[in-house]
Structure 1
């Protein structure tokens, strides 16, 4: 016969397990998150999280807490939060990240901003070496299963080449030069302006050419003038490959090699707060006829890649079939005359 007392104790323990709060439910128990050039993912949950009354940008909903230290030489970080459940209660519309300009609890009215998690959030103007608190919070109604409140979070920084953020061909990445510092020892090459506020990205060349686009400039960055530089070599010994303004085209790259991209404003110093931009590694250099790559008879093979190619207007279809919505262009010089062609 089973002991009723043992059964009661087991039921109590199961109940305690089912209804226990996350370990970082309180600000005082904020989990330290490592900051690096790539995501060091930390798993989290808002299941059974409790509400803490905070004067800040986000509403007072259930939350869990994290903290990070800004790397030496860096002035900005990106916080990325992703929902991991296959049947989530959390959504990008009802889940938020809030950063506080404080390292102690409670953070009082030191909220810097509150944003939903639809995109990675960049925070600039931070102090190197300082510790900052942030919380993940949600307005979701507490009706879902436990795993429907699961998420991952990571913090990255790209204020130095060693912490460059990775660009992949296609996605657009948000950036913000506000408060960015300068990196000494980086050659200007043919670039112009004063690189006293730079951020860094890196990409793996898919072919011998690449294009970096910088768009949607904030008004202060637009007025100062944006500069885009592609660099090669190991960190600490970088060489300039190509320079441009809001678009830079680089050729002579080695497929499979890693290249770095520096973004900075041409002016000296910063005024105002509108220094945002979007950066992408998406368009082949020869996406349009005017930039067609030259193919030489009997010469070296020329790499091509249709990934992220776009349609060119005004080009007749002729004998081609299908939909030319992702074309790239090459050109050659005829060296002989076809006697059968008038």
Structure 2
């Protein structure tokens, strides 16, 4: 029968037994007649030491005796079916593993000889049971020398012969026997099992972190770098095993370039390596931190690398599509990435950009958000640049720790422009690198999000509300402090109006859950705040009245929610109203009052009025003349009475001026309060002269303005009479402007008011001794 060989099949694998069974099936009925090819030592089959264990199939069926049996462990079997193998030592200690076929009765004896077939026996095994896997450790070997292995069944019956598998491995107790590890990508990671049980010390222990263990059980591995960056992982430690990992460059006693001793018993250790030279060999030493046999144990070890991401360099930046949700986000990694630009300082923190990767997006709105979600311990730094990879940084985020979400919000991007996003881990260790999710979102804010697009409101005499919203709006200016409250203006929107009066009232009514703040500014968006309202809560009405406006000028209204959360944004209505200025707001349009002898007056109002002159001080009191209105009258008597009665909330001030609007104040009244009656008696007036009356409210609030009543009267004089007979003596007193006499006046006096005239009829002589007998009176009735 031809020898069937299985190579590169782990002996501990069920596949090996399947192969043996296949051999049995193919040989049944003929095994007694077949002589194994390695029946004699001269034809010993060469075994290659291999880690992990792999080997070939063998059989003693049909073999004959080459040499006498040895005594091993006080037992001497029968070597009538010995077969031969050989191997070249690659380390000073090798393990020889024999796995018996479970269906045969083979109880194998293993005889290891040095240098030649009949060389000295240096090791043996005769403690195996029938079938099963058994390992013989042979130490003190000379690297490069050939050693022979003889295998035979302990018994002398044909039924004792059988099939087996055999393989040689070398121990990695010394660096020369370092087991080769092949680096893989993380998705193909397949660590191998190892142990420090039975190992001895090769080098002194290192200090890793702040701990120095005992390296009395170190074992060795090695790998060839296929990338500048590799990660060595020691995982799945046996209970009680606390691993220390020491990575060395170039040789077993080379420089230690990385270590790990961060966890306790049962914990996994990782060493991140960077700046490795591709093609160079690096050595890994593993030992237990403790010094007792109980500290030793098994583990798994493997090496991984990551190829540089496609977007490692900015010219290969991955395009992100902005959406209204993060559903269009992508998964990214900095594993294997290299540095493109220096790290930025973001929020007073400067990380290490040794693993930056690049993305880009085209803005579809001026309001965009870049979000990066760290995963599996990744602490992201986000750097957003305008126009080019090395363009000006326009935003960054480094506010959270590992596994946090970093967000960069923009409110002034240019739709259609391209922006670049750089992501890297904050830390400098290879282990800080990792995976993350990234996405770009946008909203379309209200049209009046910016002051330049302020919506024009038209003031009316009655409210005409306009619907508004702050949802998705962004901040234009800092929040103001209004009524000692300072909200958050992160969602302000803008309106404007042209003043049609010197005073306007703005009303903002918040809809469900919306708590508005109202800020009124003069002239420009960032002009002086001339009025505000923040007196109520959610779903309430805010009202602000601004006075002293310039008719025809533009004023700006900013509305935002008091709260800082997006849920605080909402909808509202807004309106602007004004009072129509009274016709007599200015002195040039003063209303003429006709003095009477009765008590009938007229109604007036200061609503909508503006200031003409400074307030006067009257009765030691000085109010605010911001709503003065004007009246005038012609004196028909030397004495007139003036009364002004204020409305329910109006405290009137009365200012009487002579001759002109800015003439001398000849009288005033400010003796009462709201709804009071101010009364003046004017004497020594000049009949026929014009006098001006100014009325205003004492206070400066809109609520102080309102209606009032005003009247002017004078005393009644005697009735007009005609002179129908001669006046011979005495004094004739009459009110009449015209005196009609049919006879002469002799030795008498006719008096008349200075503002009137006397017409003498023909034939009426009014002289006595050439003296004028008519005289004028200055005040009162004739």
The answer (yes or no) to whether the contact 2:112–2:122 under 8 Å persists in 1 is no
State the partner residue of 2:409: 336
State how far apart, in whole Å, the 2-side matches of 1:42 and 1:63 are.
19
Quick one: which of 223, 239, 245 aligns to 1:229? Answer: 245
State the partner residue of 1:315: none
Structure of greater Rg:
2
State the partner residue of 2:59: 46
Cα offset for 1:99? Answer: 5.3
Distance 1:278 1:185, change over 3 A: closer
Distance 1:278 1:208, change over 3 A: closer
Q: What secondary structure is seen at the aligned counterpart in 1 of 2:407?
A: coil
Quick one: which of 220, 223, 226 aligns to 1:200? Answer: 220
Alignment map for 1:52-201 (pairs within 5 Å): 64-67=83-86, 74=92, 76-79=93-96, 110-111=124-125, 114=128, 123=137, 126-129=139-142, 134=149, 153-168=167-182, 169-178=189-198, 180-184=199-203, 187-190=206-209, 192-201=212-221
Deviations 1:169-197 (A, max 9, x none): 3143243431x232237855445212122
Tell me the TM-score normalised to structure 2 length: 0.27
Distance 1:38 1:173, change over 3 A: closer
State how far apart, in whole Å, the 2-side matches of 1:99 and 1:280 are.
31
Quick one: which of 299, 304, 309 aligns to 1:278? Answer: 299
Cα offset for 1:231? Answer: 0.5
State how far apart, in whole Å, the 2-side matches of 1:188 and 1:97 are.
47
State how far apart, in whole Å, the 2-side matches of 1:27 and 1:240 are.
48
Distance 1:242 1:43, change over 3 A: same
State how far apart, in whole Å, the 2-side matches of 1:96 and 1:78 are.
19
Deviates more, 1:30-39 or 1:232-241: 30-39
The answer (yes or no) to whether the contact 2:236–2:300 under 8 Å persists in 1 is yes
State how far apart, in whole Å, the 2-side matches of 1:109 and 1:163 are.
20
State the partner residue of 2:235: 213
Distance 1:237 1:93, change over 3 A: farther
Cα offset for 1:201? Answer: 1.4
Cα offset for 1:165? Answer: 0.8
Tell me the TM-score normalised to structure 1 length: 0.52
Distance 1:234 1:81, change over 3 A: farther
The answer (yes or no) to whether the contact 1:81–1:120 under 8 Å persists in 2 is yes
More contact order relative to length (CA 8 Å, sep ≥ 6): 1
Cα offset for 1:237? Answer: 1.4
Q: What secondary structure is seen at the aligned counterpart in 1 of 2:406?
A: coil
The answer (yes or no) to whether the contact 1:293–1:330 under 8 Å persists in 2 is yes
Cα offset for 1:164? Answer: 1.2
State how far apart, in whole Å, the 1-side matches of 2:377 and 2:47 are.
47
How many residue pairs end up in the alignment? 268
Distance 1:19 1:112, change over 3 A: closer
Cα offset for 1:266? Answer: 3.1
**Once superposed, what is the RMSD of the aligned Cα atoms?**
5.6
Distance 1:111 1:81, change over 3 A: closer
State how far apart, in whole Å, the 2-side matches of 1:165 and 1:262 are.
11
State the partner residue of 2:37: 22
Q: What secondary structure is seen at the aligned counterpart in 1 of 2:254?
A: coil
Distance 1:295 1:137, change over 3 A: farther
Distance 1:333 1:79, change over 3 A: farther
Q: Structure 1 or 2: larger strand share?
A: 2
1:265 to 2:288 alignment: yes
Q: What secondary structure is seen at the aligned counterpart in 1 of 2:382?
A: coil
State the partner residue of 2:377: 292
Deviates more, 1:126-135 or 1:239-248: 126-135
Distance 1:109 1:171, change over 3 A: closer
Q: What secondary structure is seen at the aligned counterpart in 2 of 1:292?
A: coil
Deviations 1:242-269 (A, max 9, x none): 222652112244686654321223344x
Distance 1:108 1:68, change over 3 A: closer
State the partner residue of 2:260: 243
Distance 1:333 1:155, change over 3 A: same
The answer (yes or no) to whether the contact 2:110–2:150 under 8 Å persists in 1 is yes
Cα offset for 1:281? Answer: 2.2
